[in-house]
Amino acid sequence: LKDVRVRQAINHAIDRKAIVDALVRGKSEVVNAACFPSQFGCTQDVTVYDYNPEKAKELLKEAGYPDGFTIDFYAYRDRDYAEAMMGFLGEVGIKANFNYLKYATLRDKIRSKEVPMAAMTWGSYSINDVSAITSHFFKHGADDMALDDKVKALLEKGDTTVDSAVREAAYKEALQIIADQAYWVPLWSYNTNYAFSNDLNFTPSSDEIPRFFTASWK
């Protein structure tokens, strides 16, 4: 995965739209940048990797893996989505050894640099700003797997000014580098649908996870 061609091949190998249409469904949409489209600073003017298994195979061959390779692949939720991604990877020669763990265990393994590839999710704590996701994962923190100094500097520039134009320009350049280098495979937005009666005592949580077991009837 240190070879950008391998990372780009993985991006081309996964048919994200097919997974959205067949499994995720609802209002879910494919995401191309390392952020959520509605967030401030989340430009869509980035390299987009279309589903192209032949291109993926070509890139793998150029990188020295004409027959593909085997890699450990981790997930902690939505097993069916992860298995679908593994199926697409297998079609271009990338065999995934699946490891399905609890979130806390997987998080700790990622932070210990023991995980080469994982399917993860992030809700940005409901903050509609790039700093709540891209900056978290690309500023050399515990969850940063890329450790790109230029990206870090650009994000710090965007995070430390109130000038909207400066912020947008810095974030745009950072997101374009992330896409060009294929540090992530941006997947799709998630659906969160729930309804409750006015007769219920229910308080939404800041992390967007509805904990109905804490609710009670009035």
218 residues of the chain, pLDDT tens digit each: 999 999 999 999 999 999 999 999 999 999 999 999 999 999 999 999 999 999 999 999 999 999 999 999 999 999 999 999 999 999 999 999 999 999 999 999 999 999 999 999 998 988 999 999 999 999 999 999 999 999 999 999 999 999 999 999 999 999 999 999 999 999 999 887 777 789 999 887 766 678 889 999 99
Burial track 127-144 (b if 16+ CB lie within 10 A, e otherwise):
eebbbbbbbbbbbeeeeb
- Contact by Cβ (8 Å): 176, 161: no
Secondary structure letter of residue 111 according to DSSP:
H
Which pTM was predicted?
0.89
Helical spans, DSSP H, in 53-212: 53-62, 79-91, 103-111, 134-138, 149-159, 164-180
- Contact by Cβ (8 Å): 166, 76: no
